[in-house]
Amino acid sequence: MDVDEISEKINMVLKEIGKAIIGYDYELKLLLASLLSDGHVLLEGVPGIAKTTIARALVRVLGLEERRKYFIENTPFTGFSRIQFTPDLMPSDITGSLIFNPVTREFEPRLGPIFSYIVLADEINRATPRTQSAMLQAMQEREVTIGDKTYKLEYKDKGKFFFVIATENPIEQEGTYPLPEAQLDRFMMRIIMGYPKSLEDEKNIYKLHAYRIVEPIEDLEKIVTPEWIVEAQKTISKKILVPDPMLDYIARIVRATRPETLKSTRKYFELGASPRAGIMLVKASKALAAIRGSDKVEYVDLEKALFPVLNHRVIPNIDLVIEYGGDFEARMRVIREGLKHAVEAVT
């Protein structure tokens, strides 16, 4: 597989999903870049802006079926699982548990919905920290333990990947358990989704649904396979170059987000980005370069990846957040200004 094929196919995927999702081209590109980088995504936005629909659309274009069982080494996986997170959700409701069989008089494993290619963790901040931890451990380790047996969640040699799309509503705080920074770090990107950007986009959304009974995603066609995605992941990791000057530039930006490294950053951040953030920034930039059709990372790729990769890996200065209004928008404004300051400081 070469880079041109990856670019061509991914742009076909974007075009196909665009038939059902209008006005979120940039966000969709970031989502696919995360998938191609073998990362996970947190979609943050108010209800009703197609966060769940995006996940289901991705399932369609990959040719996966939501309820079909895919058996890999005798382990059944579904194409897509949606887990609605609530305060009473238990870790075993996600990973699975042992069930006593009165016939055999033995405990047998019942695998949970996390055994899937694509898992949608809907409103992940509504579950308790204990349940969140079970989900995030699986994301990091790519395996779960039920009883005394450990099950793998991905088999790259057989075309089985494991991709988590989590959603959050940034407005509602009552009855939620915000993810701590250490757990947010498990997500490659946090993609902030707003309302449609223009009046024309909003009208086109209404037109798309005006004369339909079923959802538009039902008409989407298969473009690539899960096996193709895994092969593309391998190609990007091996063939997309990160020139030394670009690697140096990324390292300088990440270090400039740390108040102890750059004192002027204290105005914006209480805590800067970690080396893992830099690793994720490199991987995301490589995937965006491949989507663009280039075999090496350039500034335009880094620019697109910078905010979604780092916005949840820095802690903004609370005093400046309060000065700007104290809400979610104020928090994002401080982070944007801080990242801009870090880039300007090393340019």
What is the predicted pLDDT for the residue at 140?
86
What is the predicted pLDDT for the residue at 133?
85
Per-residue pLDDT of the chain (347 residues; tens, 9 = 90+): 899 999 999 999 999 999 999 999 999 999 999 999 999 999 998 888 888 899 999 999 999 988 889 999 889 999 999 999 999 999 999 999 888 888 888 888 889 999 999 999 999 988 888 888 888 878 888 999 888 888 999 999 999 999 999 998 887 667 788 887 778 888 999 999 989 889 999 999 999 888 888 888 999 999 999 999 999 999 999 999 999 999 999 999 999 999 999 999 999 999 999 999 999 999 999 999 999 999 999 999 999 999 999 999 999 999 999 999 988 899 999 999 999 999 999 98
- Where do the domains of the chain lie? 3-225, 240-345
What is the predicted pLDDT for the residue at 211?
86
Assess contact for 120 and 208: CB atoms under 8 A.
Answer: no
Assess contact for 36 and 233: CB atoms under 8 A.
Answer: yes
Considering the entire predicted model, what is its pTM? Answer: 0.92
Q: Which CATH superfamily is domain 240-345 in?
A: Magnesium chelatase subunit I, C-Terminal domain (1.10.8.80)
Tokens 């105005």 label which residue? 267
What is the predicted pLDDT for the residue at 184?
86
Max CA pair span of the chain: 70
What is the predicted pLDDT for the residue at 109?
86
Task: Give the burial string for 181-191 (b: 16+ CB within 10 Å, else e).
Answer: eebbbbbbbbb
The CATH fold of domain 3-225: Rossmann fold (3.40.50)
Residues 6+ apart with CB under 8 A from 51: 43, 45, 167, 193
Residues 6+ apart with CB under 8 A from 175: 87, 126
Q: Is the dihedral of CA 225, 230, 232, 233 positive or negative?
A: positive
What is the predicted pLDDT for the residue at 56?
92
What is the predicted pLDDT for the residue at 138?
87
Tokens of 61: 């274009």
What is the predicted pLDDT for the residue at 342?
95
Residues 6+ apart with CB under 8 A from 21: 28, 50, 53, 54, 57
Task: Give the burial string for 17-50 (b: 16+ CB within 10 Å, else e).
Answer: beebbbbbeebbbbbbbbbbbbbbbbbbbeeebb
